[in-house]
Amino acid sequence: MNSFWTVVGFTARNKFKGKAFLVTTLIIAVIISIGVNLPYIISQFDTGGDKATNIGYIQSSNENLAEGTATGDSLKAFYEQQENAKLHLVAYPDKGSAEENEKQLKQAIKDNDIKGYLEFGAKTPNGFPEMSYKSEKMMEFSLTENLKGALQLIRQATILQDAGLTDEQVALLNAPIQISTVQISSSEGGAGGKTPAEQGVNMGLIYFIIIFLFMAIITSGQLIASEITAEKSSRVMEILITSVSPLKGMFGKIFGMFTVVLSQVSFFVIVILVNVSLPHNREALSGLNIDLTKIDPLLLAYAIIFFLTGFFLFATLYAAVGSIVSRTEDLGQATMPMTVISLAGFYIAIFSLSAPDSMLVKITSFIPLFSPFVMILRLGLTDVPFWETALSIGLLLVTIYVAVFVSAKIYRTGVLMYGKRPSWKEIRKAMKAYKI
Amino acid sequence: MKPLVVEQVMKHYGDKTAVNNISLEVSEGEIYGLLGANGAGKTTTMRMVLGLIYPDGGSIKYNGKPYSNEQLSRLGYLPEERGLYPKIRVCDQIVYLSQLRGMSRKDADQNLKYWLERFEVPEYYNKRVEELSKGNQQKIQFIAAVNHRPSIVIMDEAFSGLDPVNVELLKSTVKELRDAGTSILFSTHRMEHVEELCRNITILHRSNTVLKGSIKDIKKQYPRERVILSTENSVQGLESISGVTGVKLQEYGYEIGIENEAVGGEILRHAMAQSTITRFEIKEPTLNEIFIKTVGDRNE
């Protein structure tokens, strides 16, 4: 047991000491901090920077333009009433002729006074004149949509006023309608149901766990495999295998790497928590209605179980792959299948967040290499019978047991095979010869 | 009971036989030489002794016990190819490797410092292995093999890549280990090292043992067939002495091939009659000659 911890300590210490490790950890921490604070940073720029767009129109007493002027005026009044309106209408005096007016407005655009202008035509049956918005930009859909909405409200207000409704009636007409969703358990003795807030938090937790599991597997898996290959190619392996039993050596390495990844991940979580709890972010968090106390402890427990089992399953397999390859250059190719499998599990889970009860999800939640990703999704978002969870975990544990046995054999055998990548037949034959 | 006994050990790779029925015994405080051309099966034999690979037949006993994980801490291994972490500091990895073999951290560190002093390179304590020259890496590799005070040390080509000064340094260290009671299994291509260090040897050729025994006995089997003669003036008529097979003129004098030792006396008398003799020696065959005789003709 003693030498196991020696290997763990040595592996972890050397990783922690490595400059590359420290630098990447710091860089990621900085990126996370920026990411968390980004909404706040943007809002700081927002107040000064995001001015309303100015739109010009011709204000005229001319009869032909009276309809247009009235529409323009009411739009101007509408936007001026609003707080933080996105649009602002600017009136320009009539110069007499259409050409002169156009020239004047174009000059205004050139002078950066306005972004574009509205031109009015003949009156149409919808109550407003024909309108066109002219500007130097293309595809100003959001702006015209905004104008449309404003005009609709103006028209509604006018008609309602004419109909003689009371203010309460108007308010009632405008009141928003709400439907809340509650996820319930149909099985007996199931929990009382999950409120939208709880669902949101669960969804967040699942997202978080899936992404972290994936990242932990990809980074540490590659590290474990490449460390073993490096030991093999530098022939330290021959000395190691004659010093410590292969099982201890391999698991010491895996566990050491796990310690490294876990502390790295915890460091990131702490960075996130510290950033989130900063005064200016606390408001934003409560605004998003995320209450961390609403996390279901059972789900958290399951999340940890699936994280650990998933990690160790992939780590042992990566170790086996690393011990077959004898040069670091060949490693990428050899770990490819593992990477693809973990990617597949990750994507099945991420893309099924909106459809957690599909057949694909149900089936893959029992397949050991996918289940750490997928089962946690089902647990968080749907109501899973206990036996299914138990079966999934059971299958996972059996697979880990088999993987450990086979990987240790491959490790013991593979580390002494040099030269070309050995064929399956050679590996099988050699494996029979070694005790673990 | 001998620390290391290898009996009738065999190893096959597919149809190929790597080692065929090798037997050897290493006593306490003995350096045992394992000789052979490239690919003769030396490294395979050593790996089997280390438990890196398992023999297909025969047995290997350590102090009378079969191989087990408990034996690991008693073994030291100096591999032919360098086996160190290139990017890790010398102190870290030597202490690590010694700890793996059951030494305490403090003890390992102290011993490492002793060895670095012994090799006159204490400044390497904090250096990374990749910063060191090949010869100095070999010193560190040597320390890695012996730092945990093993009772059996396996050295595969221990002196390769070293300059003459360092070879002497390492040789004297190996002798020290031997005198302290360590059993050493030693392989090399350099016959003069074997003659100097080993009591018993085995010569392997194409997986088979072709010669085995103490160096003295082996040399006795090969007759003394050479006479070295140095004189002040030239000596005539050496070729005409019966029993002389050939005379070569060398810088130092004559190298004379003879049929048996008795002819030596004839030569001495013959030479004394003509000149003053500064050197006369009936040479025993060198291990190099024996090796080439047994292996060389068939060498690939």
Parse chain A into domains and list their residue ranges: 53-169, 195-433
Nearest CA to A370 among A420, A432, A314? A314
Distance to chain B for A367, nearest Cα, Å? 36
B50 at A interface, C-beta within 8 A: yes
Q: Where in chain B is the domain with CATH 3.40.50.300?
A: 4-219
Distance to chain B for A242, nearest Cα, Å? 6
- pLDDT class of B297 with cuts at 50, 70, 90: low
Give the residue on A whose Cα is nearest the Cα of B13: A430
| Predicted confidence (pLDDT) at residue B251 exceeds the cutoff of 90 | no
Q: Residue A283 has what pLDDT?
A: 67
- pLDDT class of A291 with cuts at 50, 70, 90: low
With an 8 Å Cβ cutoff, are A235 and B86 in contact? Answer: no
Lowest mean pLDDT among A45-59, A388-402, B200-214, B270-284: A45-59
- pLDDT class of A394 with cuts at 50, 70, 90: very high
Of A7, A231, A239, the CB nearest to B79: A239
Mean pLDDT, range A256-278, rounded to an integer: 85
With residue A56 as reference, give the H or E element that holds it.
Answer: strand A53-59
Give the residue on B whose Cα is nearest the Cα of A231: B85
Judged by DSSP in three states, B37 sits in coil
Distance to chain B for A216, nearest Cα, Å? 24
- pLDDT class of A54 with cuts at 50, 70, 90: confident
Q: Residue A190 has what pLDDT?
A: 46
Whole-model pTM: value is: 0.72
With residue A90 as reference, give the H or E element that holds it.
Answer: strand A87-93
Q: Residue B143 has what pLDDT?
A: 92
Q: Residue A420 has what pLDDT?
A: 52
Q: What is the CATH number of domain A53-169?
A: 3.40.190
| Predicted confidence (pLDDT) at residue A435 exceeds the cutoff of 70 | no
Counting residues of chain B whose pLDDT is more than 90, the rounded percentage is 17
With an 8 Å Cβ cutoff, are B100 and A434 in contact? Answer: no
DSSP 8-state code for residue B148:
T
Distance to chain B for A315, nearest Cα, Å? 22
Mean pLDDT, range B203-211, rounded to an integer: 85
Nearest CA to B78 among A238, A418, A233? A238
Most confident range (mean pLDDT) of A187-196, A199-208, B123-132 is B123-132
| Predicted confidence (pLDDT) at residue A436 exceeds the cutoff of 60 | no
- Chain A residues at the B interface, defined by Cβ less than 8 Å, are 2-3, 6-7, 10, 13-14, 231, 234-245, 416, 433-434
Contact between residue B24 and residue B15 where contact means Cβ atoms under 8 Å apart: no
Judged by DSSP in three states, A357 sits in coil
Rounded Cα distance, B2 and B77, in Å: 19
- pLDDT class of A189 with cuts at 50, 70, 90: very low
- pLDDT class of B224 with cuts at 50, 70, 90: confident
Give the residue on B whose Cα is nearest the Cα of A230: B85
Lowest mean pLDDT among A110-119, A190-199, A321-330, B208-217: A190-199
Higher pLDDT: B81 or B77? It is: B77
Lowest mean pLDDT among A192-206, A280-294, A331-345, A387-401: A280-294
Counting residues of chain A whose pLDDT is more than 90, the rounded percentage is 7
Q: Residue B109 has what pLDDT?
A: 92
Mean pLDDT, range B216-225, rounded to an integer: 81
Q: Residue A411 has what pLDDT?
A: 80
- Architecture of the B223-283 domain: 2-Layer Sandwich (3.30)
- Tokens matching residue B236: 């005539």
With an 8 Å Cβ cutoff, are B83 and A234 in contact? Answer: yes
Of B53, B73, B100, the CB nearest to A6: B100
By CB atoms closer than 10 A (0-12, 13-18, 19+), residue A155 is: middle
Complex ipTM > 0.85: no
With an 8 Å Cβ cutoff, are A234 and B69 in contact? Answer: no
Mean pLDDT, range A343-349, rounded to an integer: 90
Provide the terminal-to-terminal Cα distance of chain A, rounded to the nearest Å. Answer: 15
With an 8 Å Cβ cutoff, are B83 and A236 in contact? Answer: yes
Of B50, B69, B144, the CB nearest to A245: B69
pLDDT tens, residue by residue, A10-41: 989 888 888 888 998 899 899 988 888 887 77
B206 at A interface, C-beta within 8 A: no
Average pLDDT, chain B: 85
B146 at A interface, C-beta within 8 A: no
Residues in chain B: 300
Q: Residue B299 has what pLDDT?
A: 47
With an 8 Å Cβ cutoff, are A238 and B86 in contact? Answer: no
B200-205: strand order across its sheet: B57-62, B4-13, B16-26, B208-214, B200-205, B31-36, B183-187, B152-156, B75-78
For residue A14, which residues of chain B lie inside 8 Å, CB to CB? 88, 92
pLDDT tens, residue by residue, B127-177: 998 898 888 888 899 999 999 899 999 998 888 878 888 889 889 999 999
Mean pLDDT, range A214-237, rounded to an integer: 85
pLDDT tens, residue by residue, A309-318: 999 999 999 9
Q: What is the CATH number of domain B4-219?
A: 3.40.50.300
Give the residue on A whose Cα is nearest the Cα of B53: A434
Encoded amino acid at A157, one letter? A
Rounded Cα distance, A120 and A67, in Å: 8
Q: Residue A47 has what pLDDT?
A: 58
With an 8 Å Cβ cutoff, are B52 and A236 in contact? Answer: no
